Copies of this chain bind each other. A is one copy, B any other.
Amino acid sequence: MKNKYVEIYHNLVKDIQKGEYAAGGTLPSEHELCARFETSRETIRKALNLLSQNGYIQKVRGKGSVVLDRDKFEFPVSGLTSFKELSDRLGQSFQTHVHELTLVKEAKVCRQLNCQEGSYLWKVVRSREIGGERIILDKDYLRQDLVPDLTKDIAQTSLYHYIENELGLDISFAKKEIVVEPVTAEDEEFLDLNGHDQVVVIRSYVYLGDTTAFQFTESRHRPDKFQFVDFARRTKV
Contact = CB atoms under 8 A, between A and B. Distances in A.
Interface of A: 6, 24, 53-55, 58, 60, 63, 66, 68, 72-73, 79-80, 85, 112, 171-180, 198, 200, 205, 207, 209-211, 223-224, 226-237
A230 B223 CA distance: 19
A200 B60 CA distance: 34
A80 B66 CA distance: 21
A210 B60 contact: yes
B237 A180 contact: no
Nearest to A176: B230
B227 A178 contact: yes
Contacts of A236: 6
A79 B232 contact: yes
A175 B231 contact: yes
